[in-house]
Amino acid sequence: MATNASGLFTTPTVPSVRGKIKPSIRIFGSGFRSPDGISKRVFCSSTFEGAEKHVGASPSESRAPRLVSKGCKLIGCGSAVPSLKISNDDLAKVVDTNDEWISVRTGIRNRRILSGKESLTTLAVEAALKALEMAEVDVDDVDLILMCTSSPDDLFGSAPQVQKALGCKRNPLAYDITAACSGFVMGLVSAACHIRGGGFKNVLVIGADALSRFVDWTDRGTCILFGDAAGAVLVQACDSEDDSLLAFDLHSDGDGNRHLNAAFKESETDELGSNGSVLGFPPRRASFSCLQMNGKEVFRFAVRVVPQSIEAALAKAGVPASSIDWLLLHQANQRILDGVSSRMQIPSEQVISNLANYGNTSAASIPLALDEAVRSGKVKPGHTIAAAGFGAGLTWGSTIFRWG
């Protein structure tokens, strides 16, 4: 048996069965569905049961290999935050605001900001090592690293640097996922796809952002919201009957980009000078603008689409809302958390929130809150969690999973 470029197993000696066997399943976005309409959590895998016996066999002796489905389970988590803590009172010294104004409107009292020799990569590595330690998985057993961030240390992505800093000797694939505050949910789904369809066993999903780099610290409407952090989980392959990543629901709407963005812009001055060259060349030096947000529109967007997305994911999973142990939302604003939980009729004591201590940490917020809840004993193995991310893009998505 050989492998192709994607890692999937190939069996050259097995004759084609295309057109000879009618498909018994239809493919849907969240997996597969049988003709009778009953959802089946069965996914492609790179493991073919019994295929080894037929390599080199004659056409009369060979048979088409059967795909053995794989499940996913979340078995370890970790987080890291910068050492510098900025309180609302500290912010009041640099912008026209105060603790009461911020806490009443957002629920935020403190946030952590990168400083000194700290970097997003060092935070991501610290969170990843803690997740691996909890999962009891060696660094060299990691097959894939997904770095969910919109503020990498390098324009071309930070994932390979995280891989290097972790000391992975087998050079596993590592790449960035850019989806802002929805990034971690997108990362979980991507991990599941790699495990179920690509044969990967241990996938590190890291959510890390340092939006303090793109905040206008003179704008009290946005600077009060954001902090820096990293969180990570280890997603591991398991037998299909032990699958813990039950369903997902993902969306995007580029029309909403005008409400939340940090757009690319050219410098207003022509630093290079044209020197009589072609008009418009060389291009002017460029950078990204500070984060721009229409808070009211983002609030309306979140409280409308997040409950819909979670309900859709629950329906795909075949799980009633009453069986949810915890609601874990992107930590953007306490009013959003309250609005979503109210619409879904989920009691506040079942809503995980650490917003007061860290503010909006973008892609890090869900794994950071999850890690604190797990380590405090609040979230226990077997608990069912409905998680949802939402933000710039606009993007949003939810997933239903069992911890441990």
Burial class (CB in 10 A: 0-12, 13-18, 19+), 285: exposed
On whether the CB atoms of residues 227 and 359 are closer than 8 A, the answer is: yes
On whether the CB atoms of residues 21 and 15 are closer than 8 A, the answer is: no
Of the listed 202, 333, 354, 360, which one is catalytic? 360
How far, in Å, CA of 386 to CA of 316, rounded?
Answer: 13
Residues linked to residue 78 through DSSP beta bridges, in sequence order: 232
On whether the CB atoms of residues 221 and 376 are closer than 8 A, the answer is: no
| DSSP-assigned states of every residue in 320-385 | -GGG--EEEE--S-HHHHHHHHHHTT--GGGB---HHHH-B-GGGHHHHHHHHHHHTTSS-TT-EE
Structure tokens at 225: 């919201």
Q: What angle do CA 246, 247, 250 make, to 5 degrees?
A: 155
For the question of residue 333 being annotated catalytic, the response is no
For the question of residue 360 being annotated catalytic, the response is yes
How far, in Å, CA of 191 to CA of 234, rounded?
Answer: 9
For the question of residue 181 being annotated catalytic, the response is yes
Burial class (CB in 10 A: 0-12, 13-18, 19+), 271: exposed
Of the listed 202, 330, 333, 354, which one is catalytic? 330
Could you tell me how many residues make up the chain? 404
Give the phi and the psi of residue 250 in degrees, each rounded to 5. -130, 145
Structure tokens at 66: 């059967």
How far, in Å, CA of 391 to CA of 383, rounded?
Answer: 26
Structure tokens at 185: 């949910």
Helix (H) / strand (E) element for 123: namely helix 120-135
Of the listed 168, 181, 194, 259, which one is catalytic? 181
Structure tokens at 28: 């849907």
Instruction: Return the number of other C-beta atoms located less than 10 Å from residue 263's C-beta.
Output: 11
DSSP assignment, residue 298?
H
Which residues belong to the active site?
181, 330, 360
